[in-house]
Amino acid sequence: MTTVTLPAHVLADPEHILVREVDKTYPGASARALDDIDLVIRRGEFVSLIGPSGCGKSTLLRALAGLEPIDTGSITIYGATPREACSQKAVGLVPQTPALLPWLTVRQNVELPGKVNRAASKRRAHRQGMGASSVGRTDPDELLDLVGLAEKRDAYPGELSGGMQQRVAIARAFGLEPDVLLMDEPFSALDEFTREAMRLHLLSLWQRMRTTVVFVTHSVREAVTLSDRIVVMSARPGRIHELIDVDLPRPRDREVLAGPGLHAVEDRVRDSLQRAWDSGAVPSDLVPA
Ligand code: ADP
């Protein structure tokens, strides 16, 4: 298990998401869903959580979203508790299936939450004050262009495929400019071909917006393609088995993604998953990721 000892200056640093010594056991469960989880996530980092079913990925994501109480330890998101961060609309959640409003067009779906979310505007203004380039940052047309749906802007969700609908949902989530975006297997309902295209769209969006993302996946390829760092978890109890840096250059264009570097990192992640699997008391009804 990897344990991170946090120096005092990091604890006081509003630039990090800090997960410290977190334990969580569901009532009646025989093993901890989360056991002594320590994790530090930098602002703007793309981090994936991967591991066998039942290793606590979703529990950790929900805890970050303030939706799951923890037994011991602490979680802070840039100095705020998860609940505070959520109430300030600083945390966005992209679920496995898109929840679009069927009576609004694609463009209206992307644009609406931003219109009513004053917190996003305030953060944008703050960033502008800090000198960050945000010209046209949340322009719905630009967001739709980045996910390859510029031509569908006037269509209704019912006229789109599942993959297209999920792209709209992801564009909308980025458009709200949360400080951190939590994504729980957002491509799991899609076929492999569509997933591959989705990864490229997500890469373009992230490259543009640089939102901090915590991404749950079962796919090694997905984790390596997208992430700066991969958290490999093991089950029963749910622990961090290893943190793996993905030292592939960005932007991750097709050339990078077709190169030998990608396969080398994939092999490292697969080895780590195998070791996590070997070390865990995994019940026989669970299958490896
Ligand atoms: P993962 O997302 O990695 O598949 P989860 O976070 O869903 O793992 O689950 C971690 C462990 O906690 C598993 O053993 C699971 O059965 C258990 N668990 C998850 N949610 C609940 C719940 N609401 N009540 C009881 N046990 C749960």
| Domains, the chain, with CATH or none | 44-56+89-280 (3.40.50.300)
Residue 230 CA, ligand 1 centroid: distance in Å:
20
For the CA of 216, the closest atom of ligand 1 is 2
- Other C-beta atoms lying within 10 Å of the C-beta of residue 254: 8
Closest C-alpha residue for ligand 1 atom 19:
59
- CB of 54 closer than 6 A to ligand 1? yes
Give 1: exposed, middle or buried? Use CB within 10 Å, 0-12, 13-18, 19+.
Answer: middle
Backbone angle region of 36, left / alpha / beta, with phi > 0 → left and psi within -120 to 50 → alpha: left
Distance CA 274, CA 289 (A): 9
Under 8 Å between Cβ of 54 and 236? yes
Q: What pLDDT score does 190 carry?
A: 82
pLDDT value for 32: 97
What's the pLDDT score for residue 113?
76
| CA 265 to centroid of ligand 1, rounded, Å | 28
- Residue 109 confidence (pLDDT): 94
**Does any ligand 1 atom lie closer than 6 A to the CB of residue 186?**
no
Please state whether the predicted TM-score (pTM) of the whole model is above 0.85: yes
At residue 134, the pLDDT reads: 41
- Paired residues of 75 in beta bridges: 19
Query: Which residue minimizes the CA distance to atom 6 of ligand 1?
Result: 56
* pLDDT computed for residue 286 by the predictor: 40
CA 147 centroid distance within chain: 17
- Cis, peptide link before residue 251, omega less than 30° from 0: yes
Structure tokens at 117: 């979310």
The response to whether residue 26 sits with its C-beta less than 6 Å from ligand 1 reads yes
Find out whether 34 and 41 touch, Cβ atoms under 8 Å. Answer: no
How much is the pLDDT for 205?
87
- Are 77 and 64 a contacting pair, CB within 8 Å? yes
Could you tell me if the CB of 52 is within 6 A of ligand 1? no
CB atoms inside a 10 Å sphere around CB 248: 17
Give the integer Cα–Cα distance in Å for 133 and 251. 18
According to the model, what pLDDT value does residue 276 have? 87
How many degrees, rounded to 5, is the angle at CA 97 between CA 200 and CA 42? Answer: 55
Out of 59, 214, 273, give the residue to mutate to test ligand 1, the one with the largest number of ligand atoms within 8 Å of its CB: 59
Amino acid, res. 124: R
**For ligand 1, mutation pick of 24, 25, 26, 282 (most atoms within 8 Å of CB):** 26
Check if 29 has its Cβ closer than 6 Å to any atom of ligand 1.
Answer: yes
107 pocket-lining for ligand 1 (C-beta < 6 Å) = no
Residues in the chain with pLDDT < 50?
Answer: 1, 130-136, 282-289
Distance CA 150, CA 137 (A): 16
Hey, what amino acid is at 286? Answer: L
Cα 29 to ligand 1 centroid, rounded to whole Å: 9
